[in-house]
Each structure stands twice: as C-alpha cells, then as structure tokens.
Structure 1
Amino acid sequence: MGKGNIIASLDLGTSKTCCMVGEITRSGDIDILGYGISEALGIKKGVVINIDLVVQSILKAVNIAEQMSNTKISHVAVGLSGGNISLLTNRGVVAIPRNESEITPQDVERVIQAAKIMAIPYDREIIDVIPREFIVDGCDGIKDPVGMAGTRLEVSACIVLGLLTAVQNIVRCVQRAGLSVESMILRPLAAAEMLLTEDEMDMGVVLVDVGAGTTEIAVFQEGCITGYDMIPIGGDLITNDIAIGLRLPYSYAEEIKRKYACALPHMASDKPDIEIQSLGDSFSRKISQKDLTAVVEPRVQEILSYITRSIKDFDLKAILPAGIVFTGGGLVHIQGAMEMSQQLLNLPVRLGTTDSYDRDQTFTIALGLLNYLIKHRAFDLSSTTKERTAYGLLERVKRILREYF
C-alpha cells in the first residue's frame, strides 16, 4: 500500500463513508496522515443496493483522504457488517516437526488455516478466523504459543461467515473505485479495539452500535467475540418520527434530534424554547423539550426492546458483569437514552467513547480498523512496540482532528 507501512481503512456505513490513512513509523507509532468523509450512497441496512452509488461515495472519501495525506491509497481494510453474518466455532490441529525445538509463527498460521477446513453452505464464505485459545500437547488456555515447546498444536477458533454475494458486491465496489481489499474485518471487532477494555472482554460484555439505519450487537466473553446480530433499525427512525410528527424537513429534524431530543419525560424541560417552522407554515412556533420527548420516547423504547430481544436470543449461559457498552451516532445524542437503557435492559450501561473529540462516533470504526489491522498483520515490530502503537494512534488522531474541528 504505497511506500513503507502505509495502511488505510474504509468504513461503509448507512449514513457516511469514512476513509482513514496512517503510516506506521520505525518507532512503532502511527502517524494519522489524513481522513475523508462522504455521504453514504447505495447502501441500505448494511447491504449494497446500488454499486455505482457506493463507488461514488468511496471515491469521494478516498480522494479527500489522499489529498489531506498527500498519499496514494491502493489497499484498504474494509469494515463488514450485515444480517447475513454468522459465527461458528471450529478447531484446527497440526503436528510440530520433531526437529523443531519450539512453536513458530508459521506453525500458528498452519493451525489457523487448518481451522478453516470445515463444511460450510455453498452460499457462504469464510471472512475471518479469530483464535479463542491455543492448546499445546493438551494444555489449554494459551493465548500465544509462539516459542513454546510441543509436538501437537491445536486452536479453538471463531469462524466469521458472510453471504458470498454480499461480500462479492462489497469487493466489487472497492475494486471499481480502483482499490484492493487488504482484509475484511467485522465492524464490532474494530469498535471493540477502541471502546472495550481487556477486563470487559474477559468478564463478559455486550457492545451495541446503534447507527443510522442498523444496530449491531456483539457479545464478547473470555476475550473473544462469541455472538453477533444485526437489527435493521437505527437512529434514522427517530429522525423520521420527528420529521413526520412535527412536519419538518428531514435534515432539520435530524438537527433538532441532535440538539434537543430526550428519551425520558422527567428529564425534559417543559419550557417552550425550541423554535421550529413546520412545512407549509409561513410562521414559526415554539415547542418544549417535553413535547419533543412525546415523539422520541416511544421509538427509543422500541429500539431498546429489539436490542433486549436480540441479547436474550443469544441464550447466554453466563452473566455479563461488564454490562452493555453503547456506541454509534443513533442514540448518543439523545439525553436520557443511556438511563432508559439501564432501566429496560437491567444491566450496567455505559457510553463507549475514545475521547470527547469523537463523541458523535464518526471515526470509531475507521480508527478501530487500523488498530485491528496492526495487531493482526506482521509489521516487524516488537511486542513492546505494538503496545505503544494503540496509544500513539489515539494521541495523533486527537491532535489532527482538533486541528480541523
């Protein structure tokens, strides 16, 4: 991807397309060179419905990122989502040659490839293989077997499957934009890189990403993703209700939602200080935040009820001590949404955010894709350097974004 360790990510959302490019330095830090954002076109509920429009959106975001970074982007890591994603568990086993004194990275690669050997439906494709644990000569619970002595190496892995045609359509869109797909990464894995702590992922946590048109739900236990679901609803429904209920243009309804929306009546002001002008009216009028809440509250409750149902469908055998972490732009702007979530879901709830600069979650997935790519791709960095990489990523992103916002 260009010269040196240049990496780029592409987040194809329902409302926006985001491209970010960075360079891994010799010291192991990452310099964020640039980013580009464009309106998402041709994607509905996480599915490509118009290739030409998606290509147009990709080209615009990539061109902006290239101009800002003065870099030519040729490969991208693409965030993948959709209701057609499924997770399976499989095992791989390989023998370690007796003439080798220790397990090598090549042995780890072999056993991961062995985990891919399984019967899958003809219309599905393996997107990713995520090791849960390695077993060396019957000793389980090993996270990194490299350097250990052994004669038999096993892996228990999570296999991410995607609908073949859906994956092919995304690849075609990227290729028609003049790019190659370096890897496809499940979007919750990217979000988890930025928003979840290791303790949360080990203890058990649900990551809920409420976007504009979709809501993604991912369960993490013992450090690995164990469940995934996508619901074809999101924050756009709330905006649409405001637009219809108050007879406002959609873009204005979105602005009203972001500024004044509240999910709980007792938290809303009853002062008529929100000035609006409905379609067809020649004059403006004032409404209270409580009036707006009457429109917003039922829809937020509905979205949360779907989330609750999805979590129950996972049929989790263990409790989730770390509770639920919310991200995405669909709910984070709504006052009282987290409090309502806590009441309805009966679990600890917090808002996942990297810092105040990214409260609207614009860059979370794009940043997470870069971070995930670094951790799972060989850059000839020491383990100590890799630990510094995530910190360097955030610090440089904060600096560059504050220059523009």
Structure 2
Amino acid sequence: MKRDRIGAIDVGTTKVCTIMADVYDDQELRVLGVGVVPSRGLHKGLVTNINEARESIKQSIRLAEQMAGRKLESAYVGVTGRHITSLNNHGSISITRNNQVVRPDDLKRVLSVARTVKVPTEQKLLHVIPREYVVDGQKGVRNPIGMHGFRLDVETHIITAAVTSVQNLTKCIRSIGVDVEDLVMEPLASAEAVLEPDERMEGVLLADIGGGTTDLALFKGDTIYHTSVLPVAGYQVTRDISVGLGITYELAEEMKKRYGDVTPREEDPAAKEISITGDGHSVSYNDLSEIIKVRIEEMLRLIMLELPQSDYRKLIPAGIVITGGGANLPGIAELGQKITRMPVRIGFPVRMNGVSDVLDNPAHATGVGLLMWKLRNHDTQTRKDREKGMRGFLMHMFRLFK
C-alpha cells in the first residue's frame, strides 16, 4: 500500500507541537511521532525572539523525530495572530469552448480571477477558499466540473497574513532544515479535527482558545463563512489570577492547570482552601473560580460580538464548539450555554492510528487538524505550488521578451 510522509507544526504562545505521520492511499493516517515542548520567543502568534522561537521549534521537532525514528523533511504549519485579516471576494469567467462544459482548468482560472483582490503590500495571501460556485446564475453549486454553462462565478473567502510575521516564522523552521509545505490559518485546521459534517452544514462557530489568541471560524452550508482572531485567551486568564492573588505568573499558570474551574464545586470540602505558597498562605477555591469565571464570561461575550449578524441563532443553529487549551477548563461549556443560550460542546481531535493517545486533548486540535487539512486539500494549491507556478510564469515571460 502506497504511503506518503507528512508533518504538522503548531507554533503557539504556550507550546510547540510537532506531529509526524504516514498517510496511506486509502487516506488513513498513522501517527509515528509527537513532540510537545513549552514555547519561548512567541506571543499572540508573533515571533518576539527569533533565536528562542527557533530553539523551541527545534526541540519539538527533534522529540517527534526521535519517536518516529526518522527525519522530518517538510511540514504544514499553523498561523494565527491579530495580523491575520479576511474578506469575501468574487470571480467570474466565460466558458468559451464549443461544448460549454466546465473543466478543472476553468476552476483554476476563476479562482485566479478571485485572487486578484487588492492586498496591502505588508500583507500576503494565505488562503483563497471557494465558498460556492455559480453556473449561469445557478447558485449553491459545490462542484461545477462537468456542468454546462456560458459563465462560471465563484464566491471566495480570502485570508491574508502579515508578510513579516510569516517570514519570521518560516525562517525559524527552515533554519532547522525543515521545509514549509504550506501555511494554514489555525482555526481552519482545528475545524478539520473537531467539527462534525452536519455541524458544518447547519451552521456552527468554532472557538479555538489558545494561550495568546482565540481563533474563530464560522461554517455554514459546509463552507467557511467568517474568520477572525481575538487577542484574548488563556494568557489573560493566567494574568488575572496572578494580579488577583498577588502571585507570580508561573505560579498562577500552575494553579489554573491544577485547580482551575469556571464554577465552584462546593460539595468538595478539600477544594475550599488551596495552598499557594507553601508558607501557610492559601486562597479559597471559590475566589479562584470567580477570577476565572469573570474573564471567561467576557471572552464568550466578545466571541458573540464577532458574529457577522445579530440573529446568530439562525446563523449557527448547531451552536459553538470550543477547542484549544482553553477548552480544558472544567465548566467552560456549561458557562458557554448559559451566556449564549445555545448548544456548546468541547471539541476533541479525531482519533488516529499509531501513537496518538497523547493527542487526545483539545489543546492539540490544530496539530491534528493540519494533518487533516493535507488530506482534504481545501486550497487548490499549496504554497510551494503557488510559488512554482509564479516562477514558471516569470520564466515564460522572460523567454517571450528575450
């Protein structure tokens, strides 16, 4: 059975996760190696210290390589941060051949037209995702190949990222000897790992709560409808605990992971007082929970404000799926239901064969999703294909005018 080797690197504010896997010709994934290390030199999706970031990424890659027993040659890499922007655009072409049958090259042509959106010089195209095709005015076409028509239109969702941010991240990875196969906006990757097909069809909002950002992706009719990035996430929760209790950020992070809960559990007497310094100083469980609850409530309300229309119950009848490290806070789904009055569930990554038990955690949704993205190949071209195509075009023009 034929197999292909693929890798994924999720570079976050709190951790770097590298996954190495084999994909077989029946589209089965088998995980061979996983490397997870704390991240340094990274904050809110941005490289703040290139040497520290490079070292964190390198450690993660080496751990995955040791487990897999081979070198990682290339990887799909997740991208996030407030520098990411999105918009919807339209492309249109005429089908001029005699039989008026839509062919694969027509899809490439119409998507190329949709790509010609004016992007600021400091931004670069990350994704051009077809939302729907229109053939001679017939809307809602998902695959127009083989259909007859004189005109083909496409509605697309376009995502851009800051050139410098992307360059800094790819520089870190390439300097380790790993090629960047493609860059994927993180909530799109996470969606591949945690959303059900019927949720994507009905209308659902994915909220990926990481360490530095909360990434949102709204799906409707099994296609992307809206994406955005909020600069509020797990970091703010930890900082609130640190300030509220007068303790270091590191100790606050440990307390959040060990005792963090959005709702108090008063029935547990042992949880009423928590020692925080070892010198007799303690805090009540209720006080800690209240600090966390206030910030999570604010975060949930900010998420709802990001929805592109006020009647969100019609827009996302399937509700909200929370994933990422923030989804590990006990009680967050219940609080989400109370705040939004909608269905809210925790999104765990799809299970895969191989050494994947360590990935059975919402915090690894992006890493798993990057592998799934490769399988489903949403973008018509990878970054490498796009660069190769541009080089070919320039060489062709050079020969014409030589």
TM over 0.5: yes
Once the 2 structures are TM-superposed, how far is the Cα of residue 44 of structure 1 from its aligned partner?
A: 0.9
- Residue 269 of structure 2 is matched in structure 1 by 271
Provide, for residues 265-298 of structure 1, a one-character-per-residue CA deviation record: whole Å limited to 9, x for no partner: 4x4446244675444x6x3466553243233332
Tell me: CA distance 1:203–1:278, structure 2 relative to 1, closer, same or farther (3 Å). closer
2:397 matched residue in structure 1: none
Tell me the C-alpha RMSD between the 2 structures.
2.8
Instruction: Give the Cα–Cα distance (whole angstroms) in 2 for the partners of residues 261 and 176 of structure 1.
Output: 38
Offset of residue 132 of structure 1 = 0.7
Is the CA contact (8 Å cut-off) linking 1:210 and 1:234 kept in structure 2?
yes
Q: Which residue of the other structure, out of 345, 348, 352, is the alignment partner of 2:343?
A: 348
Please name the residue that 1:374 is paired with.
375
The answer to whether the 8 Å contact 2:135/2:152 transfers is yes
1:221-232 aligned at under 5 Å gives the runs 221-232=220-231
Matches within 5 A, 1:49-60: 49-60=48-59
Q: Which amino acid aligns with 1:169?
A: N
Q: Do the aligned partners of residues 147 and 116 (structure 1) sit closer, same or farther apart at CA in structure 2, a change above 3 Å counting?
A: same
Pairs within 5 Å for 1:1-400: 5-96=4-95, 98=97, 102-248=101-247, 250-265=249-264, 267-269=265-267, 271-273=269-271, 276-279=274-277, 283-284=279-280, 288-311=284-307, 318-330=314-326, 332-354=327-349, 358=359, 360-376=361-377
SS in structure 2 at match of 1:182: strand
Return the alpha-carbon distance in structure 2 between the equivalents of residues 273 and 157 of structure 1.
51
CA deviation vs aligned residue, 1:90-113 (integer Å, no higher than 9, x gap): 222334452677433333222222
Report the residue type matching 1:363 in the other structure: H
Compared with structure 1, are the counterparts of its residues 270 and 285 closer, same or farther at alpha carbon in structure 2 (3 Å cutoff)? farther
Q: 1:350 to 1:65 in 2, by over 3 A?
A: same
- The structural deviation recorded for 1:12 is 0.9
Residues 112-156 of structure 1: per-residue CA shift (max 9 Å, x gap) = 222111222222211111011122333321111223344433221
Distance 1:275 1:285 in 2: 10
Deviations 1:179-198 (A, max 9, x none): 22211111111111111122
Tell me how far 1:316 sits from its aligned partner: 6.2
Which one-letter code corresponds to 1:242 in the other structure?
I
C-alpha distance in structure 2 between counterparts of 1:242 and 1:359, whole Å: 27
TM-score, reference length from structure 2? 0.83
Q: Which runs of 4+ in 1 moved over 6 A?
A: none
User: Which residue in the other structure is 2:389 paired with?
Assistant: none
Distance 1:149 1:79, change over 3 A: same
CA distance in 1, matches of 2:117, 2:259: 51
> Residues of 1 paired with 2:335 and 2:57: CA distance?
36
SS in structure 1 at match of 2:143: coil
| SS at structure 1 position matched to 2:164 | helix
**How many percent identity over aligned positions?**
34
Q: Partner residue of 2:396?
A: none
Shift of residue 377, structure 1, vs aligned partner: 7.2
- For 1:309, the aligned partner's letter is L
With over 3 angstroms needed to count, the CA separation of the structure-2 counterparts of 1:31 and 1:104, relative to structure 1, is farther
Q: What are structure 1's unaligned runs of at least 5 residues?
A: 379-405
Counterpart CA distance in 1 for 2:350 and 2:376 is 21
**Partners of 1:270 and 1:369 in 2: how far apart?**
40
User: How many angstroms does 1:246 deviate by?
Assistant: 4.1
CA contact (8 A) 1:324 1:348 kept: yes
How many correspondences in the alignment?
372
Structure 1 CA distance, aligned partners of 2:64 and 2:344? 35
What secondary structure, in the 3-state scheme, does the structure 2 residue paired with 1:363 have? helix
Structure 2, gaps ≥5 residues long: 352-356, 380-402
3-state DSSP of counterpart to 1:67: helix
Please give the secondary structure, in 2, of the residue aligned with 1:220.
strand
Is the 8 Å Cα contact of residues 7 and 75 (structure 1) preserved in structure 2? yes
Quote the Cα distance in structure 1 between the aligned partners of 2:283 and 2:42. Answer: 35
